[in-house]
């Protein structure tokens, strides 16, 4: 029996409410080996007081040592093992720009590139052209027509764009298609090769589109050609309602997170702006209508990616002041505070470090550790645990799971 089958067979109706507060890239590193991490350095009186009556631990998003992208990291938080449930790169790229992907759409990540007179790739990223140049090329590519297919081309940034093929209503396309990017210089692009018989027709359409695109681009050096990668469809993930018996809502301001939440079957709620205060307003306004709220804070990650230790500290302090008390006022039955992965300012990137996590419920055995930080969490009774355990644990503490066996 898989863990989803297990949970599906045990969940029961309840009136309890769960909040999953996710500070993106929350985990950090000390600036000096004897110093504090961003979270430890932050002044967080509300989280510290909450920690004292909670259970703490460190969540491993994918596997020990594995640095996750945002897609896999969020799937794990939602209880989907990212090694089992894969969202294709084309789909993630489309979600990341807020594209309203439909179930039968085939999405690809596109890269402009530079080729020489013999068609051999000389720069796989077209000299990282400015986004403005990309925005001039994309309308030209939108002119390409494919028989019976609607196409969408959207700028991401610099040399990156998204291509989406949408079949006519009732028609299907399959997207098991190899990348055209040979991942090396001095050789031509590969054709979009179908990896199974069902994907032959989509591969044919993709090759037709690429041929037309290359004619259009040929005089636009350094972006005089392109490659497509990660061709994929909505993976049709088991839904939150089905697996967990939860009516789930997402409160997030960035397209990627709203998109992943939608893929797992959450309702994505409107937020008036990007501020966490606006997210809190959304939470309050919809409090009565859902069982589970995914509450996403983006700016911890952005600060980490920028290598800005102090700004990350400030974002955490602001969440402690503007979000945590407001959440506690709603009196959720279970509150989990965590991140999707670590983004230490010291690394200026996502990292593999496990993520400080706090679980609060009237049915927990408080660790009595009055601090929310990496080293505090390392002493907590949740131990070092897979992030995919968070949803089953939250359901249990919300008294939403029946007994297994007699």
Work out which of 47, 50, 59, 92 binds a copy of itself, going by CB under 8 A: 92
Nearest to 341 by CA among 87, 47, 60: 60
Cα separation, 86 vs 82, in Å, equals: 6
Looking at the Cβ atoms of 82 and 265, the one nearer to a copy of itself is 82
Work out which of 25, 71, 222, 265 binds a copy of itself, going by CB under 8 A: 71
Q: How far is the CB of 276 from a copy of itself (least distance, A)?
A: 25
Is 166 one of the binding residues for a copy of itself (CB under 8 A)?
no
Longest CA span, the chain = 73
β-pair partners for 167: 149
Work out which of 17, 296, 299, 350 binds a copy of itself, going by CB under 8 A: 350
Query: Applying CB under 8 A, what is the total number of residues that bind a copy of itself?
Result: 69
Do 34 and 360 contact (CB within 8 A), yes or no? no
Q: How far is the CB of 321 from a copy of itself (least distance, A)?
A: 23
Is 331 one of the binding residues for a copy of itself (CB under 8 A)?
no
Looking at the Cβ atoms of 87 and 251, the one nearer to a copy of itself is 87
Is 304 one of the binding residues for a copy of itself (CB under 8 A)?
no
Is 38 one of the binding residues for a copy of itself (CB under 8 A)?
no
Looking at the Cβ atoms of 225 and 360, the one nearer to a copy of itself is 360
- Residue 266: HSE in the Cβ half-sphere, 13 Å Cα cutoff: 24
User: How crowded is residue 23: how many other Cβ atoms within 10 Å of its Cβ?
Assistant: 27
Is 156 one of the binding residues for a copy of itself (CB under 8 A)?
no
Cα separation, 319 vs 328, in Å, equals: 13
Looking at the Cβ atoms of 53 and 286, the one nearer to a copy of itself is 53
Token reading at 44? 């967080």
* Residue/partner pairs of 9-13 with CB below 8 Å, 24 or more apart: 10/401, 10/402, 10/403, 10/404, 11/243, 11/244, 11/245, 11/246, 11/395, 11/400, 11/401, 11/402, 12/245, 12/400, 12/401, 12/402, 13/245
Which spans of this chain sit near a copy of itself (rule: CB under 8 A)? Answer: 1, 3, 6, 10, 29-30, 33-34, 37, 53, 58, 62-72, 82-83, 86-87, 89, 92-93, 96, 344, 346-347, 349-354, 362-368, 374-375, 378-385, 389, 392-397, 401-406
């Amino acid at each position: 029996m898989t863990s989803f089958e297990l949970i599906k067979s045990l969940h029961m109706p309840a009136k309890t409410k769960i909040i999953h507060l996710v500070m993106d890239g929350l985990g950090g590193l000390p600036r000096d080996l004897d110093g504090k991490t961003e979270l430890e350095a932050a002044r967080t009186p509300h989280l510290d007081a909450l920690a004292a009556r909670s259970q703490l631990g460190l969540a491993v998003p994918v596997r020990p040592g594995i640095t996750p992208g945002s897609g896999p990291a969020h799937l794990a938080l939602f209880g989907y093992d990212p090694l089992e449930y894969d969202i294709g790169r084309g789909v993630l790229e489309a979600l990341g720009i807020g594209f309203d992907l439909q179930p039968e759409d085939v999405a690809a990540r596109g890269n402009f590139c530079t080729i020489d007179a013999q068609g051999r790739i000389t720069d796989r990223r077209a000299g990282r052209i400015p986004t403005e140049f990309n925005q001039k090329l994309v309308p030209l590519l939108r002119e390409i027509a494919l028989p019976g297919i609607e196409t969408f081309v959207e700028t991401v940034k610099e040399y990156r764009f998204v291509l989406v093929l949408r079949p006519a209503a009732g028609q299907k396309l399959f997207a098991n298609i190899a990348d055209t990017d040979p991942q090396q210089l001095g050789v031509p692009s590969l054709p979009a090769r179908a990896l199974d018989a069902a994907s032959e027709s989509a591969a044919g359409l993709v090759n037709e589109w690429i041929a037309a695109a290359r004619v259009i681009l040929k005089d636009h050096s350094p972006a005089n050609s392109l490659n497509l990668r990660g061709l994929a469809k909505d993976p049709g993930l088991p839904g939150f309602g089905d697996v967990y018996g939860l009516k789930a809502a997402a409160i997030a301001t960035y397209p990627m997170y709203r998109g992943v939440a939608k893929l797992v079957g959450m309702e994505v709620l409107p937020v008036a702006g990007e501020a966490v205060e606006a997210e809190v307003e959304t939470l309050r306004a919809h409090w009565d209508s859902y069982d589970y709220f995914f509450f996403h804070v983006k700016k911890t990650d952005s600060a980490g990616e920028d290598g800005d230790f102090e700004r990350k500290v400030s974002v955490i302090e602001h969440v402690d002041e503007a979000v945590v008390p407001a959440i506690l006022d709603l009196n959720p039955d279970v509150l989990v505070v965590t991140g999707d992965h670590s983004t230490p300012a010291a690394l200026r990137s996502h990292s593999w470090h496990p993520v400080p996590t706090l679980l609060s419920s009237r049915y927990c055995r408080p660790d009595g550790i009055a601090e929310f930080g990496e080293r505090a969490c390392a002493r907590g009774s949740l131990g070092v645990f897979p992030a995919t355990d968070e949803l089953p644990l939250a359901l249990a503490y919300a008294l939403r799971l029946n007994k297994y066996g007699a």
